[in-house]
A and B are shown apart, each in its own frame.
Chain A
């Protein structure tokens, strides 16, 4: 895989080494890190990089899935496969339990549980005494993310203060926090969607099958193709259609749209993404369409 060379001139090598550096630095500086794992492509890359950074040892931290209870079955299958494949200890933090315990209000069977995840996540961080949480967020995803440091400080309420971020110079990642505070660490900050797909192709990684073109029953709602199933029941006015689709991002089944695509292999997807003219969140995520600062508002509350 790593061909001999005299300088580091390949962007995937540069991004890979930088991410591994961040993973090692945070693991060394923090007492109890955790890697947030959704089963999506970005967290899949993050887990793959973590395995590389600590090979041949086991991961020095667990991975945690914040389970909304509205996931695609294929993604849950992949989550369990990946935990076993990479030898990671998997913790599942359940939004349903937060609802059952009255920590958050139940938005109903069709309502979005996206925003509720913040409470479940922060509770799990507190309960497990985690002082650092790795996330697969990328700065090209959203304008609020574009402003966030690689090591992002959270106060004892889990809040992000975008106006008072720590200076972060060179590769000197400074991870000291007081008790009750924690860090979010984003090793994929400088990766773009295309970088992610090129890397997955290069490393011949496995992903949830819903990323690849397949035939599925869908309905067209709010400008998006939603998969008909347990979490999306067609309204009387909607017609069920059978389409060849794939998913560009993986979120909750009731708010993640499919894209019409025949891209069935990693090479097809790389080719498709390199000429895309709509962003992945714009194409597929109803949760980001509320307001121009939807992501900033959620992040301030402790979101990923």
Chain B
């Protein structure tokens, strides 16, 4: 069989309104020939009808009627691109502050944040806010496209001034890598190919930087393997098999594991995918696990290898609040963590995060799009890791019990920069 093997890099675009995020993604897709002729024709037609020039590249991603009418991005648009060795899943995120929940949706699964900054405007508060949320959500790699360089006649001084601002913020937030690139999304300079317009710049183009970034979760050497049980499969002839997605490190047949929260120590007797036997199961794989011990484990329980996660009913967490009504101490909500749902209560609010100064101040409530530190108590015990160690077992959402709306994203522990 001749299937090319590609890995998958998930990225989220972030930045302030009007800095040119959607145009940059449009440019990347056009110049890497990811768009079909009829899709390009449709963009050109829509541009002409609305009187915004020959080809408004932002129309490639702004697909909703309201978005085109208002010229803004409301919700995440997912786009796909591929090079011979890599598939890119691009979450093009909205810039407006009232759509922060949508930006967080796009960033929560991203390996990399691609930020766009207007060289003339510098690093705006909204962009700082998004960089902070991306760092909070565990995005480790950062590429910053300093855009509209054609408007400042490709001044290296103007670029370096923004690059210094970016480097300072990146250091503060603890990104593992940060690449700053001068571009013109409109004209395509340094987007796919390196441009002659910036002879003073020796770094990669945006696409080259994207291809050089490590895909998937970072090193898993300090993590144990985890399988939150989603579903119990009954084998023909009796046995029980536990199905779910592996995260953290790798499971092997014969590994000593612990079933939590019960604390039963046992051994993996078989691993399968879709009924076919295999010898190991690594992060991201939807695996089926047979255990030596006979147990009555079910959905919401977890199979884990050392170092083991913590079993707890109360923990400290960082909360991004999306609800229209404020969050207050004492409030009761439903919490979903891995495959387990439980009633939960906000025990206390320990502070409100000031995104601009990266410090924590006192507050008695969290309003929409605010980030805070809180203590949470659950009716049922959860099996957790710190979010900084494991995104899957360290994250949860809070759900309004009446409307069933998702009103908050939560991360167990505190980010390193606070």
Contacts and interface: CB of A to CB of B under 8 A. Distances in A.
Interface of A: 1-2, 4-18, 20-21, 24-25, 27-28, 51-57, 139-140, 142-144, 146-147, 149, 162-163, 165-172, 174, 176-178, 189-190, 192, 194-195, 198, 201-202, 267, 276-279, 282-283, 292-293, 296
B286 A147 contact: no
A8 B273 CA distance: 13
A163 to B, nearest CB: 6
A177 B404 CA distance: 6
Interface of B: 1-3, 5-8, 36-39, 42, 45-46, 61, 63-66, 68, 74-80, 82, 87, 89, 101-102, 104-105, 108-109, 137, 215-216, 230-231, 233-236, 243-245, 250, 273-276, 278-280, 282-286, 299, 322, 334, 336-337, 339, 391-392, 395-397, 399, 403-406, 409
Given A171-B392, A276-B36, 4 more contacts: A24-B243, A169-B395, A172-B397, A176-B399
Nearest to B279: A4
A174 B89 CA distance: 22
Nearest to B403: A178
Nearest to B338: A172
A219 B230 CA distance: 51
Instruction: Give the 8 A-B CB pairs with smallest separation, nearest first.
Output: A143-B63, A282-B38, A52-B274, A55-B275, A8-B284, A279-B36, A20-B286, A169-B108
Contacts of A54: 231, 233
Contacts of A163: 64, 66, 74-75
Nearest to B100: A167
B134 to A, nearest CB: 13
A220 to B, nearest CB: 17
Contacts of B82: 192, 194
Contacts of A165: 75, 102
B105 to A, nearest CB: 5
Given A6-B280, A147-B76, A169-B108, A174 B399 contact: yes
B339 A25 contact: yes
Contact of B2 (A149, A267, A276): A267
A146 B75 CA distance: 10
Contact of B63 (A147, A166, A168, A282): A147
Given A169-B104, A174-B397, A146 B77 contact: yes
B42 to A, nearest CB: 6
Contacts of B273: 2, 17, 52
Contact of A17 (B63, B77, B286, B337): B286
Contacts of A144: 63-64
B290 to A, nearest CB: 12
A190 B78 contact: yes
A35 B336 CA distance: 24
Nearest to B408: A167
A14 B39 CA distance: 27
Contacts of A28: 230-231, 299, 339
B263 to A, nearest CB: 24
A278 B38 contact: yes
A144 B243 CA distance: 33
A162 B273 CA distance: 35
B361 to A, nearest CB: 25
Give the most central of A8, A51, A167, A278: most B CB within 10 Å: A167
Nearest to B64: A162
Nearest to B81: A192
A15 B5 CA distance: 13
Contact of B65 (A178, A276, A278, A296): A296
A296 B64 contact: yes
Given A4-B278, A6-B280, A167 B3 contact: no
Given A21-B230, A168-B406, A178-B404, A6 B46 contact: no
Nearest to A281: B38
Contact of A172 (B250, B396, B403): B396
27 contacts: A2-B278, A7-B282, A8-B282, A15-B8, A16-B286, A17-B245, A24-B230, A24-B286, A52-B273, A53-B243, A53-B274, A53-B286, A54-B231, A55-B275, A56-B233, A142-B63, A147-B64, A163-B64, A167-B104, A167-B406, A169-B137, A190-B80, A276-B36, A279-B38, A292-B42, A292-B46, A293-B65
